Amino acid sequence: MNDEIRIELNGKQIYGWTSIHVQVGLEFFPGSFVVQFSEVYPGELNALRMEPGSYFELFAGTRRMVAGYVDRYHTEFSAGAHSIAASGRGKCQDLVDASAEWPGGQFSNVNAYTLAQNLVAAYGKTPDGDVTHPIDVLCSVDPSTLRIIPQLNLILGESAFDVLSRVARYSQLMMYENFDGDLVLSRAGTDAMASSLEEGVNVQAARIEYSADRRFSEYTCFLQSVAMGLDAGDGGNLLGGTKDNGVQRNRKRYLIAEATAGYVDLCIERAIWQRNSANGRSEVITVVTDNWFDEAGNLWQPNRLVTVYLPSLKMKAPVTWLIANVNFKKDEGSGTTAELTIMHPGAYSVEPMALYTSNLIDTSKMFASGNSPYWAE
């Protein structure tokens, strides 16, 4: 696969790089990059204008890896060398850094997708409003199935990322940036990479971290933390819950239902989410491979499934889990490498949440302790 690096700065190609590091993933928003340059002949880098705020693109062969802006650049010299380092982030950085904009500050009957389209429209423009590098919104879920928000008011000063994070979670969507600098709304991916990662074949180094500190034997949901006016303890407030049979000692986690419509279902959903998320993050695989591409010529991509088999690390059988993060590196010392963080897809289910609360919950039809139908496997 052609992995020749091409760098464009404000539409002009630049050369002389010595080190490249690109970081993308489900836990990094937006993606980021660091590029270092060194001059071949005296004075060469003086002609290179890499101003902060410049539009920056990086390609590996024909595949775009970065579309964003230079945040900072550092230049230095010594007796025998002169170098420049530039760092920046993808186009979605404006969603994180800048305040959200919308005429009137109010939305009506929107879902996560339409809200995102409206909010990103303010960015990728000049101060005069000329569109230069717009941000597109991609949604892997049918937008018509997403929850409708009757009315939403922006809080003055909050970022578009803050607003979208709440609304995306309400529809149980993740947000991340793709290689083109565009915003992606998605759930845990089901598409797989074209090749696996296998010890002795394409894996240079690997490690697995096992943990138990986030896991609990039982997740129990209650209506409130104290059973006011009851003589029989907290049994009257018990809603239900779920268990983790993999935890072999008593470790309970109590959850309190929010005062919102559908509070029982929401609380149970959150208990199940906490169990699945904790289980998914209890085993983290990190693999370093010597290529940025799979067999089909696709860059290793976050939110894609990949099969991993590392028998030396006591893996009994291959697993097909989700790529969470990817660190692409290329330099003279270590050559071309990609470090992939891989976890069970359950680690990236999205925490259920409510956008609207009420002051009172009708407890007139609460069930007696022990009769709750809301215990989930």
In this structure, are residues 147 and 139 in contact, taking their beta carbons and an 8 Å threshold? no
114-130: average pLDDT: 93
Task: Determine the pLDDT at residue 2.
Answer: 65
Domain stop point among 66, 89, 112: 89
Residues 84 and 101 reside in one and the same domain: no
Q: What is the pLDDT of residue 15?
A: 76
Q: Is the alpha carbon torsion for 256, 260, 264, 268 positive or negative?
A: negative
Residues 84 and 115 in one domain: no
Highest mean pLDDT: which range of 88-97, 248-257, 329-338, 361-370: 88-97
Residue 34 maps to a domain? yes
pLDDT classification of 67: cutoffs 50, 70, 90: very high
- The band of 43, judged by pLDDT with boundaries at 50, 70 and 90, is low
Rounded percentage of the chain residues whose pLDDT exceeds 90: 52
Burial of 8 (0-12, 13-18, 19+ CB in 10 A): middle
Sign, Cα dihedral of 216, 219, 222, 227: negative
Higher-pLDDT residue of 57, 273: 57
pLDDT at 372: 53
At residue 191, what is the residue type? D
Show the CA angle centred on residue 138, arms to residues 135 and 140, nearest 5°. 165
Q: Which residue intervals of the chain are DSSP H helices?
A: 93-97, 112-120, 160-170, 263-280
- Residues near 245 by beta carbon (within 8 Å), at least 6 away in sequence: none
130 and 79 co-located in one domain: no
**Identity of the amino acid at 122:** A
pLDDT tens-place string over residues 211-261: 999 899 998 888 765 555 555 555 557 777 889 888 999 999 888 877 665
H/E stretch holding 174: strand 174-177
pTM: 0.84
Residue 193 lies in a domain: no
Classified as helix, coil or strand, 348 is helix
Where does a domain end: 186, 217, 243?
186
Evaluate the CA torsion angle 225, 228, 231, 235 in order and state its sign.
negative
| 234 & 105 share domain | no
Q: Are residues 159 and 243 in the same domain?
A: no
Burial class (CB in 10 A: 0-12, 13-18, 19+), 182: middle
Read off φ and ψ for residue 133, nearest 5 degrees. -135, 75
Q: Quick one: CA dihedral 163, 167, 172, 175, positive or negative? A: negative
**163 and 208 inside one domain:** no
Domain that holds residue 110: 94-186
Q: Are residues 314 and 332 in the same domain?
A: yes
The answer for residues whose C-beta is within 8 angstroms of residue 282's C-beta and 6 or more apart is 210, 211, 212, 214, 215
- 311 Cβ contact list (under 8 Å, min separation 6): 199
Using CA atoms, how far apart are residues 238 and 223, in angstroms rounded to an integer?
Answer: 6
pLDDT of residue 184: 97
Radius of gyration over every alpha carbon of the chain, rounded to an integer in angstroms: 25
How many domains, in total, are found in the chain?
A: 3
Domain boundary among 89, 121, 144: 89
- Are residues 328 and 214 located together in one domain of the fold? yes
3 state SS of 236: helix
pLDDT above 60 for 41 = no
Same domain, 227 and 351: yes
Length of the chain: 377
364 and 228 in one domain? yes
> Are 161 and 171 contacting, i.e. CB atoms less than 8 angstroms apart?
no
Question: Residue 179 pLDDT more than 60?
Answer: yes
Same-domain status, 292 and 224: yes
Residue recorded with tokens 């060194």 = 38
What pLDDT does 12 receive? 83
SS3 147: coil
From the list 328, 303, 346, 339, the residue with the least C-alpha distance to 27 is 303
Are 224 and 359 found together in one domain? yes
More confident residue, 334 or 191: 191
| Average pLDDT value over all residues in the chain | 85
